[in-house]
Copies of this chain bind each other. A is one copy, B any other.
Amino acid sequence: MTCSMKDLNGKEYKCFFELTLLVIGGKWKPIILYFLFREKVLRFGELRKRIPEVTERMLTKQLRELESDGLVHREVYKVVPPKVEYTLTPIGERLIPVLESMREWGVEYEEFLYDGEVLKGEGYEKK
């Protein structure tokens, strides 16, 4: 496995792990992708409701990045009031199994944490 330098929209990556991380690494991207996968078509405001903690600015930014990376399709309707719908592209959908496997490992990992190998005697508290 040689890891030569390539780049994606100005961001560098040395191997395919990193390429994938570049694309899904934004703070809100996995959640956005997951909601789009579950509900197929969502408007901007609908996404906001489903992810209440995100600010408009960040939601816009992350969606634009997902769009320019080709994972999300943005359909603009020329009406008043404005209407914009977001959907996954085919390559975006192919990412879902990866997210699923990450989720599964996360579940397992959390159990591991509570079983105490790491947190043994460190005063960790669950909120």
Contacts and interface: CB of A to CB of B under 8 A. Distances in A.
Contacts of A103: 15-17, 20
Q: Which secondary structure dominates chain A's binding surface?
A: helix
Contacts of A23: 109
Q: For chain A, give the interface size range.
A: 35 or more
Interface string A85-126: 000010100110111011111111110110001100000001
Interface in A1-43: 1, 3-8, 14-21, 23-25, 27, 30-31, 34
Contacts of A104: 16
A15 B31 contact: yes
A60 interface: no
